[in-house]
Amino acid sequence: MSSVSVRDVAALAGVSTGTVSNVLNRPDKVSPATVERVHDAIEKLGFVRNDAARQLRSGSSRAIGLVILDVGNPFFTDLARGTEDSAAEMGFSIILGNSDEKAERESAYLDLFEEQRVHGVLISPFGDIVPRLRRLRSRGIPAVVVDRTSWDNSFSSVSVDDVAGGEMAANHLLDIGRTRIAFVGGPLEIRQVADRLNGARRAIESHGGATLEVIPVAALSVAEGREAGLRLIARDKHQRPDAIFAANDLIATGLLQTLVMEGAVSIPDDIALIGYDDIAFASAAVVPLSSIRQPSALIGETAVKILLEEASDPDVLPRQVVYQPELRARASTIGSQPVSAAHAGDDELCR
């Protein structure tokens, strides 16, 4: 277990440990000749800086903690990728935690990040974590909430306007002439789900002549979508909606499968279907799925940027960044169309 320390490097280069440290961190403060000599020594000895010692002395780490709700959801992995790219650019790395929508796991990750004295925390919250975030802040660790506005604006957040997104989705369904609309989603405790529903409700109420039915599901997964689909198939044909707004693309995918395969329902002729998130698989589904696109990677990048600003200047005021979502109309609502639409071709398939 050869452990090469700055001391060894200093000895070989014939300088002091302080100089080695300067070469590592502020090379401009050291004469070029010395820099070279030190680098040679580092090379020769295979020295690698011990991050724990650095962090202990200098107080803060080069890692950022990120807690997301579900690694299985491409929306979140895209978001994570955004944070990773942005962080790497600034010389930081991301420690990714997956809370799996469990308060206990969420809490465990916050504990871990606190022990590690991470540079900052990004979190797409599940439970009520304001007290935890406050405590982190009092320790000098800033936090930014992602994919949700923070409760009382005491923390910065980067999110997408889910109410507008829900409105947009419902309006699209109304625009193509549908009137019996169903919202499939849940649990409503998840803020995003409730917002999307409220947006849809608003659109439909202000339209007149259209109805909205809520079909609750237990989780935002493909399996739950299938299950909801089976319930719909079981209905008499005339009892079915003529359009469905699914709370996210995983649910929409599940619906798509059971409705088409097992229900012989034609999409979009019998039922138009729109999802939410615009994950890469949405545009690649056999009936390409209309969806509400969120700038997932951008959310991550922005969140990192804000976090780093707050870290370097703790007195900056919390900011709420809200992006607007965007409609991606595809075959599942508008059927096959001549390839000439505005967005044709710019779908980013799997990145």
Partner DNA sequence: CGGGTGGAGTGAATCGTTTTAATTTGGAAG
Partner DNA sequence: CTTCCAAATTAAAACGATTCACTCCACCCG
Q: How far is the CB of 61 from DNA (least distance, A)?
A: 12
**Residue 56, interface with DNA (CB under 7 A)?**
yes
**Residue 264, interface with DNA (CB under 7 A)?**
no
- Residue 277: C-alpha distances to residues 165, 188, 255, 293 (Å): 10, 17, 15, 5
When CB distances are held under 5 to 8 angstroms depending on the partner's kind, the choice from DNA, a copy of itself, none that residue 24 binds is: DNA
| CA pair distance 104, 324, nearest whole angstrom | 32
Nearer to a copy of itself, 79 or 321 (CB): 79
- SS3 (DSSP) at 226: helix
With CB under 7 A as the contact rule, the residue among 49, 135, 191, 202 that binds DNA is: 49
Residue recorded with tokens 């950022």: 64
Interface ranges with a copy of itself (CB under 8 A): 1-3, 46, 48-53, 55-56, 61, 63, 71-72, 74, 77-78, 80-81, 84, 88, 93-98, 105, 108-109, 111-112, 114-117, 135, 138-140, 221-223, 226, 250, 253-254, 256-257, 260-261, 280-281, 284-288, 331, 336, 349-351
- Residue 75: C-alpha distances to residues 97, 172, 183, 276 (Å): 15, 22, 20, 10
| CA pair distance 219, 185, nearest whole angstrom | 8
**Residue 53, interface with DNA (CB under 7 A)?**
yes
Q: In this chain, which stretch among 3-11, 171-179, 196-204, 257-265 interacts with DNA, using CB under 7 A?
A: 3-11
Nearer to a copy of itself, 185 or 199 (CB): 185
Query: Footprint of DNA on this chain (CB under 7 A)?
Result: 3, 5-7, 14-22, 24-25, 29-31, 33-34, 47, 49-50, 53-54, 56-58
